[in-house]
Amino acid sequence: MTNSWRHRLSSVRGTDGFKRAPAEVVRALPAVLLGALLNVLDGISYGMIIFPAAGVFAGLGGVGVSMFFVSAVVSQLVYSAGGSGFAGANGSMMIEVVPFFHILAQSISAYIGEDRPEEVLATTMVAFAFSSLLTGATFLLLGALRLGSLIGFFPRHILVGCIGGVGIFLIITGLTVCTRITEDDFDLSFETFKFLVLNSYNLVLWLLPFFLAVLLRIITHRYHHQLIFPLYFIIIPIIFYIAVAIGGIDIGLLREKGWLFDMGTTDEPWYKFYTLFNLHLTNWGALWDTLPTQFALLFFNILHPPLNVPALAVSLNHDVDTDKELVAHGYSNILAGALGTVPNYLVYVNTLLFYRVGGVTRIAGFLLAGANVFLLVIGTGPIAYIPVMVVGALIFVLGIDLVKEALWDTRNRVNRWEYITIASIMICMTVWDFVIGVLFGIIMSCCFFVVQNSQRKSIRALHTGEAAMSTVRRPGAHRAYIREVSRQTTIVRLQGFLFFGTITHVEETIRTLLDGPALLHNPIRFLVLDLAMVVGVDMSAAEAFVRIQRILAMNRIVLVLCGFTVDSAVGKALKSVDLLEMDAVEVFTDFTEALEWTENAYLTAWFLSRKLEADAIALPGRRQTVDTDDLSMSATPRRSQLLEVGFRTIARDGYSDTPPEVQTPEEDREPLNTIFKAFSSYGPLDRETFRPLVRYLQPLSLPAGHVLWTQGDAPDGLYIVEGGILRAIYQFADHASPTYETMVPGTLAGELSMLSGLERNASCIVERDAKVWKLSVESLKRLQAEEPDLAREFTQLVLKSAKLDYDILLTALASRQ
């Protein structure tokens, strides 16, 4: 016994508990009477049909009732002893799996042959007990491994379809019980229709209990008191026997005509079912042959508690651990199997009614277990005096409820495909059998899952590089050049799980982009695939990417992959097909880095065309650009466009055409050259106008790793970058990943916080040895006092530059969503 169970039991048997026991017993009596009555109704309706009613199983209705109550007693004791977190939990036989018991019994009878009845019965009893052991072991394992919540992920509509199939089975069973025909004789044929409908006597036998079932649901639709259900089925036999007494009808005649159950002349003891066990006569081959049905039964069994327990917890406003409840179900079912009876579970409706009538303590649960023992010991003799219409009405009520739950209640709650799946499962279970129905439902669910997910858009966005720029601050001329030539960058942002059903659309879209006329109209140099929102890639999708890369390589287009790490699920999938090692494939962890790399490639192409060193604009710590052969300016549409745009933007900017690293430094050129590089794109500038600004600037040489400021610091000035690289780090929230912004020569840093006087909104470090010109807060004040016109014009240029920089930063932040 576990410590938690000892603790729960100690709360029942402690000194205070014994003092309160008499009062608790009195308060629990109404709930115990209601719980016992519900078990009687379930026992005579569902216990009676555990076995098929024909062949070697004829006359075993009483045995089924005894097995029902043994299973109910076992589960009730386990739950009340502390196994369940619900003090007033009601346990009972798992009635939804009765159809599987019939399949087990009939398959064993067919395997062995009805000429050996004792062998058939012995094997069937072992099969029923084995189903309890298998169910209990599975529940115990799921609970011990804390996997209860995983079962909740199983498609709900498949379970609903199975429940609907059980409902149809119960309606058919109600017809067979009321008209005394066997299940083997019942089929969907005109002969059966004539027997049930065109025979007036048989019509009355089943139509009366069906009418009683419908009448009960009409009453409960308007009135919702919990005692209506049990009182209704108490009143029916009373009225029946009053009518019999008034008419003076002989009981034997009623039993002969099918109005009462024919239980034989002997009063069977409750333990008779144990006499049916005989391991020597058990046919293990037949038992092995039932394993597929056993696993289908197990599959159906394990779906109920993980769904019922949370629903009951919500209804009772009581927090419980689903995994502990599964462990309790494991113990109760293993014990039931050891005692040779059928599976059990915590009954949602019975427990809810039990609580509402006052059964909120474990004492009430033990009293209900005692009441079940009393009902078990009485035996099955009284069943011979229960009108068949009562049992038929009970079976019809549950059957109608389950069919209504499956077909009517779901009509506005599920989509069309799910509803078709529910109806198809019910049809398969009715026409063929339950195992085929469950398998068919799973197969249909998988097919519809593929179809539905294939219809979802895997392409989140498709645009050229004009609509997105990296967070690298660049001189205005460089940005103008990049914005135009980025038309040669096509960005495809993907989402969801990429598999054989969704990758087809992606591949077709990319092939369309590479179609001859489309490629001539819009030349592509880089195809950027952003996989940041992709949760996984299957083998078919990974191989599709390989095909895409081969097509791109034929057109001399570089494939740029970003948004994942090599050791992530996406990275491993692409690495498994050797995509990441292929030529003309570049991989980056995020989208901004990928854009930064393509922008550097475009700048490198321009500077190479001008016989300059590409290293002047390559950023440190990142891979260099593509081969110079790919960047040459020979006559192709792509390269012609780069050349034409470069002459219109960078070449016209006399101060930014040549990177500062390759110029001969002269005292009168700096910092004016850097200032003009930063602001020349905003309009014509006069060198003499800005020359007085130099005396307010302080030159600084900063080593790599130096921290200029940290987020939250008070501003000390703005910096104009002449050489090297600065990097700003924005941390907007604790849970969000940081955003990086790079400042290259010819850009500003720290300008907005300095002009506004507000604290720094980012940290800034030197990424590569840098030379900067600092305009301190004090120097700005002197500039405003001594050179107000120059200060005003300089401030306007700074604000123009800052506005563009922050627009790009905000765009980058928005693209992360």
Confidence at residue 688, expressed as pLDDT on a 0 to 100 scale? 85
Domain containing residue 716: 666-815
User: Minimum mean pLDDT among 113-117, 583-587, 621-625: which range?
Assistant: 621-625
Say whether both 504 and 560 belong to one domain. Answer: yes
**Residue 11 falls inside a structural domain:** no
**Across 651-680, average pLDDT:** 63
Say whether both 61 and 102 belong to one domain. Answer: yes
**343 pLDDT more than 80:** yes
The Cβ of residue 327 has, within 10 Å, a number of other Cβ atoms equal to 23
The Cβ of residue 669 has, within 10 Å, a number of other Cβ atoms equal to 15
pLDDT tier for residue 656 given thresholds of 50, 70 and 90: very low
**Residue 13 falls inside a structural domain:** no
Say whether both 643 and 673 belong to one domain. Answer: no
The neighbouring-strand residues paired with 717 are 776
DSSP category for residue 404: I
The structural domain count of the chain equals 3
CATH of the domain at 686: 2.60.120.10
Confidence at residue 616, expressed as pLDDT on a 0 to 100 scale? 42
Say whether both 713 and 773 belong to one domain. Answer: yes
CATH of the domain at 611: 3.30.750.24
Residue 191 vs residue 674, higher pLDDT = 674
**635 pLDDT more than 50:** no
Residues 6 or more apart whose Cβ sits within 8 Å of residue 14: none
pLDDT tier for residue 674 given thresholds of 50, 70 and 90: confident
Say whether both 467 and 525 belong to one domain. Answer: yes
**Residue 453 falls inside a structural domain:** no
- Percent of the chain surpassing pLDDT 70: 84
pLDDT tier for residue 618 given thresholds of 50, 70 and 90: very low
Say whether both 647 and 697 belong to one domain. Answer: no
Confidence at residue 179, expressed as pLDDT on a 0 to 100 scale? 81
Q: What is the pLDDT of residues 487-499, one digit of tens each?
A: 888 889 898 888 8
Q: What is the pLDDT of residues 529-579, one digit of tens each?
A: 998 888 888 888 888 889 989 888 888 889 999 988 888 888 888 888 888
pLDDT tier for residue 79 given thresholds of 50, 70 and 90: very high
Residues 6 or more apart whose Cβ sits within 8 Å of residue 209: 174, 178, 388, 389, 390, 391, 392, 393, 396
Confidence at residue 15, expressed as pLDDT on a 0 to 100 scale? 47
Confidence at residue 649, expressed as pLDDT on a 0 to 100 scale? 65
Q: What is the pLDDT of residues 258-300, one digit of tens each?
A: 788 665 545 678 888 899 999 899 999 999 999 989 988 888 7
Q: Quick check: 472 and 741 in contact, CB under 8 A? A: yes
- The H-assigned helical ranges of 87-116 are 98-112
Task: Go through the chain and tell me how many residues it has.
Answer: 817
Say whether both 648 and 720 belong to one domain. Answer: no
Taking the mean position of all CA atoms in its chain, how far away is CA 597?
37
Q: What is the pLDDT of residues 712-756, one digit of tens each?
A: 899 999 999 998 989 998 887 665 678 888 888 888 999 888 888
pTM score, two decimals?
0.59
**Residue 15 falls inside a structural domain:** no
Confidence at residue 126, expressed as pLDDT on a 0 to 100 scale? 95
